[in-house]
Structure 1
Amino acid sequence: MMTQMKERAVELIERIPDEKMFYVINILQNLEEMSSNRPADKKQAMEALQNVLKFSGRLPEDFDADKELQEAREEKYGNIG
């Protein structure tokens, strides 16, 4: 038995032309990956977080993140826009 939400999704998908199905499949695959509950992914995410937290508090008091970002953008892209 399908829920109403799934039924609505199927109805929408059925109306999409075949030449556009690539996009639907891509979106669904991305959603599936985002919603997966794999322990390896959680472990990797926690390790990354712990790695970032090791550097917590190591920036100088006068650190200006916005200024650093602007300088990095200028260095990488120059005055494109």
Structure 2
Amino acid sequence: MSRSAMIDFLPTRGWETVHQRFFRDRLLEHPGDRRRHEALKRSAAAAALEGTSSYNAAKTGFVQEIVDAARGRLGLQPVSVDHK
């Protein structure tokens, strides 16, 4: 069975600065980034199936870029999004 959705449970404390929220909001507000993310996910999945790359590792740079920009707009320091 293939997965069609995923859910993350996050603490309410610190929600204003959690990187998953920044990333979600960016994709909701910017269709170009949403399309870019979709293409990257497809490419990452194909590479993972071929054994040439980890799915998460292939996406990390894009996610980091989005989160760093969002945090920077709020005057916050960058944080690593590589948690898996």
The question of a shared fold, defined as TM-score above 0.5 by the shorter chain, is answered with no
Q: Structure 1 length normalisation: TM-score?
A: 0.29
Structure number having the greater helix percentage: 1
Q: Which has the higher contact order (CA 8 A, sep 6+)?
A: 2
Q: Who wins on radius of gyration, i.e. which is larger?
A: 1
Q: Structure 2 length normalisation: TM-score?
A: 0.28
